[in-house]
Amino acid sequence: MYIDAEGTFRPQRLLQIADRFGLNGADVLENVAYARAYNTDHQSRLLLEAASMMVETRF
């Protein structure tokens, strides 16, 4: 789960990290849930949604 509060998330960087550790980049990206938070209220709602998602999928 990546909640981006600053708009700085870059999938390309995640691919570089995956490559460094010998992981399949596509698989790594597929396992990342991304959301952009635009303010603190939005961020709080996203955190609640993330908690719900983790319960449902058993992260």
pTM value is: 0.77
- Total count of domains within the chain: 1
SS (H, E, C) 1-59: CEEECCCCCCHHHHHHHHHHCCCCHHHHHHCCCEEECCCHHHHHHHHHHHHHHHHHHCC
Q: Which domain holds residue 30?
A: 2-57
Q: pLDDT digit string (tens) for 1-58?
A: 899 999 999 999 999 999 999 999 999 999 999 999 999 999 999 999 999 888 887 6
